[in-house]
């Protein structure tokens, strides 16, 4: 357990601002309340986004991904995000129906900037809306209708420090636990090897 000294804890906004100083002007002017054309181009090129939500059990974040442009810009203040088949935990969707506040972080492979969108969401099952997102003959279970409140891009520093898109940064599969190995470590009666062997076929059948 980490022993944190009370005097070392930053506990109010004034102390935090004193520690970090004021933001540079360009960090403020990039935030707007709608999806500008350049921000729309970024969203339409992104095949991946992390979706954060908050609810009775706390904060949650989950990955969302599909072909570039899978999140549609319906208008400058509205995004549409299809919810594809998953594990049915519905942690994020449960949060949204309780609270509604969400945040999205869009990433594009090979690009250093990321894009953040903050707003509120609803879980919608309108058949006409679902039909807009049919892939390989399968519609999503629901669509998140996201009302945009704030949008801004994040600079390249985090991606650069992590080397995220560099092939030299890629981990070897044998150095990282597989899904089956992690499940088996939690429940020793679980057959992790069989799970891992069958997962590629399971994913192929259930991706859409």
Which pLDDT tens digit goes with each residue over 2-52? 999 999 999 999 999 999 999 888 888 999 999 999 999 999 999 999 999
What is the predicted pLDDT for the residue at 26?
86
CB 43 within 8 A of CB 106: yes
Tell whether 48 is covered by a domain.
Answer: yes
Q: Which helix (H) or strand (E) holds 52?
A: strand 48-55
Which pLDDT tens digit goes with each residue over 95-115? 999 999 999 999 999 999 999
Residues 52 and 147 in one domain: yes
Which pLDDT tens digit goes with each residue over 41-73? 999 999 999 999 999 989 999 999 999 999 999
Task: Retrieve residue 198's tokens.
Answer: 């069958």
Residues 109 and 74 in one domain: yes
Q: Give the predicted TM-score (pTM) of the model.
A: 0.93
pLDDT band for 196, please (50, 70, 90 cuts): very high
Annotate 63-129 with three-state secondary structure. EEECCCCCCEEEECCEEEEEECCCCCCCHHHHHHHHCCEEEEEEECCCCCCEEEEEEEEEEECCHHH
Radius of gyration, alpha carbons of the chain? 20
Tell me the average pLDDT of the chain: 95
pLDDT band for 162, please (50, 70, 90 cuts): very high
Tell whether 129 is covered by a domain.
Answer: yes
Residues 136 and 190 in one domain: no
Residue 185 pLDDT > 90: yes
* Full residue range of the structural domain in which residue 142 is found: 29-162
Number of domain units in the chain:
2
What is the predicted pLDDT for the residue at 160?
96
């Amino acid at each position: 357990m980490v022993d944190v000294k009370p005097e070392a804890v930053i506990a109010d906004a004034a102390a935090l601002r004193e520690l970090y100083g004021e933001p540079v002007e360009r960090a403020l002017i990039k935030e707007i309340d709608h999806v500008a054309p350049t921000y729309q181009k970024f969203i339409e090129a992104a095949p991946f986004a992390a979706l954060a939500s908050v609810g009775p059990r706390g904060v949650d974040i989950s990955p969302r991904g599909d072909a570039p442009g899978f999140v549609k810009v319906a208008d400058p203040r509205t995004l549409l995000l299809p919810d594809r088949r998953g594990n049915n935990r519905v942690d994020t969707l449960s949060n949204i129906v309780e609270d509604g506040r969400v945040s999205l972080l869009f990433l594009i492979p090979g690009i250093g900037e990321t894009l953040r969108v903050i707003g509120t969401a609803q879980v919608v099952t309108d058949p006409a809306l679902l039909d807009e997102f049919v892939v390989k003959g399968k519609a999503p279970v629901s669509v998140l209708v996201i009302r945009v409140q704030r949008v801004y891009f994040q600079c390249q520093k985090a991606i650069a420090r992590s080397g995220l898109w560099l092939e030299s940064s890629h981990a070897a599969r044998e150095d990282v636990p597989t899904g089956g190995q992690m499940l088996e470590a939690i429940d020793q009666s679980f057959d992790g090897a069989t799970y891992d062997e069958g997962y590629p076929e399971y994913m192929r059948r259930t991706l859409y």
